[in-house]
Structure 1
């Protein structure tokens, strides 16, 4: 079971994840990033790669695809907010988006 992060820990982590912003959705803290892909197929390819990472971690993001814009929203729903699982997946998404 993952523990919710303190706001200080979230703020510290977001300094290392500059493309991510914290938002509240339905009373739950999330982090969000939108990646602008080179093309629609490359956006879908990114989603496929993220899906493999998410499945391996058993931690799945909410994903919204709008043409070349792919938005990832992370939160540990079972805990009601952000945990280290979200930060780890955010780092993986950043790595995959750079490829």
Structure 2
């Protein structure tokens, strides 16, 4: 909760719009709309991420089957994600313009991760963020990993647009 309050304070300090009406209820419902800082701290854009994330019926908390992997991982593999050989996980390294852009990306992902109760393994040095996604509760890839990876791709596109 502290992270959410800190991000609200940072966002509203630099935002020209009035964010008072958003409140925590708005942040809890941000799976449909998520405020994304696109170019600078003074510009916020609404992105509808619910349309860009593929639906996996009933498979959010179960391990993906071989057939499901073929369909839901194809787009991620085209975006540069790799299936790790030594464990049932996917990995990608993101490069940003600078540390602020990398940290902004991580902050946005952290908000959704907290809401999903699904946290990535990640490592950050300056403008580089390395991410490994796997679900410990099912000992492998699940729909939550795919959803989070697709969300990350949308955030990166909004940052670099």
Fold match (TM-score > 0.5): yes
What number of residue pairs does the alignment pair up? 97
Structure 1, gaps ≥5 residues long: none
| Runs of 4+ in structure 1 over 4 Å off | none
Q: Match for residue 81 of structure 1?
A: 140
Q: Secondary structure at 2:138's aligned position in 1?
A: coil
Higher RCO structure, 1 or 2 (CA under 8 Å, sep 6+): 1
Greater shift after overlay, 2-11 or 52-61?
A: 2-11
Q: Secondary structure at 2:122's aligned position in 1?
A: strand
Q: Match for residue 21 of structure 1?
A: 82
Of Structure 1 and Structure 2, which has the larger fraction of its residues in strand? Answer: 1
**RMSD (Å), alpha carbons:** 1.5
The structural deviation recorded for 1:24 is: 3.8
Separation in 1, partners of 2:102, 2:120: 15
Does residue 96 (structure 1) correspond to residue 155 (structure 2)? The answer is yes
Separation in 2, partners of 1:43, 1:7: 33
Does residue 62 (structure 1) correspond to residue 62 (structure 2)? The answer is no
The structural deviation recorded for 1:85 is: 0.7
Greater shift after overlay, 1-10 or 85-94?
A: 1-10
CA offset digits 1:40-72 (Å, max 9, x no partner): 111011101100010111111011112211111
Structure 2, gaps ≥5 residues long: 1-59
Give me the TM-score of the superposition, normalised by structure 2: 0.56
Structure ID, larger Rg: 2
